[in-house]
Amino acid sequence: MTTPAAPPIPAVSTANLTRVYGAMTALDTLNLTVNRGDLFGFIGSNGAGKTTTLRILATFLTPTTGTAFVFGHDVVAAPNEVRRILGYMPDFFGVYKDMEVTEYLDFFGACYKLPAAKREQTVKDVLELVGLSEKRGSLIGALSRGMQQRLGLARVLIHDPQILLLDEPASGLDPRARIEMMAVLQELQRMGKTIIISSHILSELETLCNRVAIIERGKLIYAGSVQGMEQKHGGRIYLVKLAADSEKAAELLRTRKEIAEATALDGHVKVTLAGADVDASLIAETLVPAGFRLLELREEEVGLEEVFLRVTKGETQ
């Protein structure tokens, strides 16, 4: 007889979390749970409420109404307890460009009251973790943007927090720097850290995160596994290559109620079926008798970007 798996332990939980700025509601009764050990993707357009949520969790903003807890600590009633176990990296952060890398990290270690003897080893460890050991004596101003981002991550790790809130940590980075940053985040998850990351690079979140949430105009649209989201909202997509007349073919396919959408694209037709139970053979059954010559019919993989576009309306506040 197998032992049932233990229920997940909440790292973050919010209940009806709301933040109002004058006439604008930045967060609207947000109910969100992030479990311990999650690498959690927080997705939304600019102005959706992502940064407001992260700043409330980091104790920099107070909610208008509702509650938020980080590992059982109320962010309003017990902010100091939250700060001891949390590391927050905003999308834009200042650095002291005339300081050396080790001086910068030692300074923040002192702010967290780490003993001097422990700080030296801690600085060494976090630099190794983020891949900056060779830059320990360099001036921060001489570092590339990607290296400065990794230094910012090292800074929030200096007090060994249980949970990390990272607001667009790969923003402005070149492809190699983004890949290196994502590899560091995967290693941190393997070490047991809980990570919430907001990003516009959905293709990377798709492979990086085990769970995601989508927010629009302050309201939560979806929260759960990436796979569950794609299964629930994806809908199967097929690409049809034709010898000619793709526009007319798309028009004909749109007359079928089993087809949610058909769009002509450079000699192809992109077809979205209306449901998981719809047989894709109806595409050929519709087109061939009408005289269209099919050269290829293949299913396209539905990714996080495609699903995001379907479930959101592109509205901002």
Q: pLDDT tens, 153-183?
A: 999 999 999 999 999 887 777 888 888 888 8
Indicate whether 136 pLDDT > 70. yes
Domain 10-225 and domain 235-301, same fold? Reply is no
Q: CA 260, CA 227: separation in Å to the nearest integer? A: 21
What is the CATH T-level fold of the domain 10-225, as seen in this structure? Rossmann fold (3.40.50)
Indicate whether 307 pLDDT > 80. no
Could you tell me the two tokens for 272? 């979205």
Residue boundaries of the structural domains of the chain: 10-225, 235-301
Q: CA 195, CA 188: separation in Å to the nearest integer? A: 8
Dmax (CA) of the chain: 80
Q: What is the layout of strands, in order, in the sheet containing 24-35?
A: 24-35, 10-21, 65-70, 73-74
Q: What is the DSSP letter of 162?
A: S
Indicate whether 315 pLDDT > 60. no
What is the CATH T-level fold of the domain 235-301, as seen in this structure? Alpha-Beta Plaits (3.30.70)
CB-side neighbour CA atoms (13 Å) of 178: 15
SS3 286: helix
Of 159-163, 194-198, 263-267, 290-294, which gets the smallest average pLDDT? 263-267
Q: CA 130, CA 222: separation in Å to the nearest integer? A: 32
Q: pLDDT tens, 182-233?
A: 888 999 999 999 999 988 777 777 778 888 888 888 899 888 877 666 556 5
